[in-house]
Amino acid sequence: MNGKVFSISLAVFCLIFGVILFYFQVFAFYQRVDGLSQIEVNGNKVPIKEYKGIDSGSSALKLRGCFKVDPMFFKNQVLAEKPTPLAAPFWFKCFDYEYLHQEIASGRAKVYLAAKDEYDGIDRMVLVFDSGEAYQWRQLNSKFSGK
């Protein structure tokens, strides 16, 4: 009887712990950021529309954003060398990093370095399509990526 109680208690504990761990990894530290009217790109304020984003105070790498912008604002901006969109939580639907990877590889999207070392070792990237559809994220730069 004691073995059954222990086994059931351990299974229930593991299940509860797993659910809590999943919640903290996927939901707890993200805050929605909606309605921004501008972003900063290399010190310049760029007007944007329809911003939907997420960010976190616990990690600079959790920034993801989707918005509309006039591509002409990026005409003289520096292209990013190795843009790598990072995955967003499954519930943040507008940021499909696999699609963005494909569009970067095909050359249909241009990625600009919006802020070098925005945080120590972390750059902010902005991907822009000719249609004005745009995305932003942060990624490690050569200081921490080892490249």
Locus of tokens 């990026």: 74
Specify the 3-state DSSP secondary structure of 49.
Answer: strand
Q: Which helix (H) or strand (E) holds 92?
A: none
Mean pLDDT of the chain: 91
| DSSP-derived secondary structure letter, 6 | H
pLDDT digits (tens, 9 = 90+) for 46-75: 999 999 999 988 888 899 999 999 999 998
pLDDT digits (tens, 9 = 90+) for 120-144: 999 999 999 999 999 999 999 888 7
- The pLDDT, as a whole number, for residue 11 is 93
pTM score, whole prediction: 0.85
- Give the amino acid at 42: N
Interatomic CA distance for residues 3 and 16, integer angstroms: 20
| DSSP-derived secondary structure letter, 68 | E
Residue 4 has pLDDT above 70, yes or no: yes
Instruction: List Cα–Cα distances, 107 to 16, 33, 36, 129, in angstroms.
Output: 45, 29, 28, 10
Phi-psi region of 117 (alpha: psi -120 to 50; beta: other; left: phi over 0): left
Residue 1 has pLDDT above 70, yes or no: no
Phi-psi region of 42 (alpha: psi -120 to 50; beta: other; left: phi over 0): left
